[in-house]
Amino acid sequence: MQKFLIVGGNRLKGTIRASGSKNATLPVLAACILNGSKNIIHEVPILKDVAVMKDVLTYLGARVVCEGSTFIVDSADVQPVEISEDLMRRMRASNLVLGSMLGRFGRVKISYPGGCQIGSRPMNLHFKGMQAMGAVIKERYGYIAARAEKLTGADIHLDLPSVGATENLMMAAVLARGNTTIRNAAKEPEMVDLQNFLNKMGARVKGAGTDTIKIEGVRPSDLHAAEHTVIPDRIEAGTHLVAAAITGGEVTLTNVIPEHMEPLLAKMREAGVDIITGDDYVRVQGAGQIRAVDIKTMPYPGFPTDMQPQMMALLSLAEGTSIITETVFENRFKHVGELRRMGADIKVEGQSAIVEGVERLSGAYLEASDLRAGAALVIAALAAENGTILENVTHIDRGYERLETKYNALGARIVRVHD
Ligand code: UD1
């Protein structure tokens, strides 16, 4: 167990460079399976979740060489072996190999990735789409086996715009016979990044970023090696902006695509944070008294569920009452109890949290329940009076590269302690 000791009350000042996007990297690495070639991926963030995906690819037979933030993934020797429960349990997103394995080999068997702290997270939409393409899916004894003699392009209408289902189906459709259309597809920037990577390897995908994605199936011999640079992490960058704002700091974030962050930036501005944007940077230049705002999480371009906990930390110090409604995951208020320990006044009623702003937060003994909840507690602790002990920070390492090092360089005081 590792923990953070955080002394609050320091204004963050300086410049941070955002890393490559975790949620874009994971499907791009999974997509490397499709071409059986040597792919070069730049701007890979060095995170626990990425290490798990590397282990999954290696287990399947890929050769993965890491040179800093560049990964060289050679999938020539990948085989359709069964992926063990142990590996699958380490990260839910390892289910992203389902689409590319099924697409290349016509069969795949993985253990069920299981539930998760923030909700039950079923995979019915992934399965329905693959079945429409002719796959037979069997779920037994905690395993999922998918088989298809030859996947055939299909017209798929997703019941809801699931990020993971859209990605898995895009990958499955690349080598299918004929054309696939995915309607009500997720529109997140990560879909566009995956489309770009797939097209670089010879796939024919268009429409990502809109709610209709069209994939024209190609032959395995049409695919070839590809080189790609992953887009910046809009959630990591957003987390740093909120951290800067809660301390009344002045922080410039470089290597960002401000347009991807608009849903967050609009809410931060409404809350009174002074933000300016350039082509590839965003700067928070202080915040006066934070004002209450209402937030409803929605699929992109709505407000991202992955920024909800961090914004709740900020709004717990706002003037007035904010209502935060979580519509994407059913169990994503685990941070509320911990923020209340710090003196926040928050009540949960069904899908909504009612946040009455308080004048100050006070450090406490806390535990991170999941990745973004953990980030929210770091943010709250940066603004709190007294010190905070935050347990279980390995959750935070899943999605942030050495968060404490980045914040300490900006003037924070955070120490990582190993038990
Ligand atoms: C991805 C992101 C995660 C983010 C989430 C929503 C990655 C690795 N993770 O997760 O950080 O919080 O998008 O933006 O990119 N659902 C179903 N059936 C399905 C699939 C999903 O009912 O077959 C439901 C889920 O339970 C959830 C909602 O759809 O309520 C959204 O889930 P989804 O978009 O699939 O999220 P992930 O891809 O798991």
Task: Provide the mean pLDDT of the chain.
Answer: 95
416 pLDDT above the threshold of 60: yes
Instruction: Write out pLDDT tens, residues 272-310.
Output: 999 999 999 999 997 689 999 999 999 999 999 999 999
Q: What is the model's pLDDT at position 373?
A: 96
114 pLDDT above the threshold of 70: no
- Looking at residue 305, its amino acid is T
Instruction: Write out pLDDT tens, residues 15-55.
Output: 999 999 999 999 999 999 999 999 999 999 999 999 999 99
Residue in 94, 112, 121 to alter for ligand 1 test, most ligand atoms within 8 A of Cβ = 121
Question: Which residue has the least CA distance to atom 25 on ligand 1?
Answer: 121
Q: Looking at the domain that runs over 2-19+232-418, which CATH code has it been given?
A: 3.65.10.10
264 pLDDT above the threshold of 60: yes
Q: What is the model's pLDDT at position 117?
A: 67
Q: What is the model's pLDDT at position 118?
A: 67
**154 CA from centroid of ligand 1 (Å):** 22
Q: Which residues have CB under 6 Å of ligand 1?
A: 23, 26, 93, 119, 121-126, 160, 162-165, 305-306, 328-329
| Contact call for residues 308 and 235 (beta carbons, < 8 A) | no
Q: Which atom of ligand 1 is nearest to the CA of 127?
A: 23
Name the residue with higher pLDDT: 101 or 141: 101
Question: Which residue has the least CA distance to atom 11 on ligand 1?
Answer: 306
**381 CA from centroid of ligand 1 (Å):** 28
- Sorting pLDDT into bands at 50, 70 and 90, what band is 14? very high
- Sorting pLDDT into bands at 50, 70 and 90, what band is 87? confident
384 pLDDT above the threshold of 80: yes
State the CATH class of domain 22-229. alpha beta
Q: Beta 352-356 vs 321-325: how paired, if at all? A: antiparallel
Dist CA 232 CA 253 (whole Å): 11
157 pLDDT above the threshold of 60: yes
Task: Please give the helix or strand (H or E) that residue 380 lies within, else none.
Answer: helix 371-383
**328 CA from centroid of ligand 1 (Å):** 8
| Contact call for residues 91 and 116 (beta carbons, < 8 A) | no
116 pLDDT above the threshold of 70: no
113 pLDDT above the threshold of 80: no
Question: Which residue has the least CA distance to atom 1 on ligand 1?
Answer: 163
Catalytic residue from among 1, 65, 76, 116: 116
**165 CA from centroid of ligand 1 (Å):** 8
Q: Beta 70-74 vs 107-111: how paired, if at all? A: unpaired
**230 CA from centroid of ligand 1 (Å):** 20
388 pLDDT above the threshold of 90: yes
Nearest Cα to Cα of residue 145 among 210, 215, 81: 81
- Sorting pLDDT into bands at 50, 70 and 90, what band is 269? very high
Domain ranges of the chain: 2-19+232-418, 22-229
227 pLDDT above the threshold of 60: yes
Q: Beta 227-229 vs 204-206: how paired, if at all? A: unpaired
115 pLDDT above the threshold of 70: no
Q: Is 121 left (phi over 0), alpha (psi -120 to 50) or beta?
A: left
412 pLDDT above the threshold of 60: yes
Question: Which residue has the least CA distance to atom 21 on ligand 1?
Answer: 162
337-347: average pLDDT: 98
Phi then psi dihedrals of residue 287, to 5 deg: -150, 135
Exposed, middle or buried: residue 351 (CB in 10 Å: 0-12, 13-18, 19+)?
A: middle
The tokens describing 49, both together, are 């979740």
Name the residue with higher pLDDT: 113 or 261: 261
Cα angle 271, 275, 277; round to 5: 140
Q: Is-same-fold flag (2-19+232-418; 22-229)?
A: yes
Q: What is the model's pLDDT at position 122?
A: 85
32 is catalytic: no
Q: Which atom of ligand 1 is nearest to the CA of 167?
A: 38
Q: What is the model's pLDDT at position 80?
A: 93
- Sorting pLDDT into bands at 50, 70 and 90, what band is 213? very high
Q: What is the model's pLDDT at position 67?
A: 96
Does the pTM exceed 0.85? yes
Q: What is the model's pLDDT at position 146?
A: 94
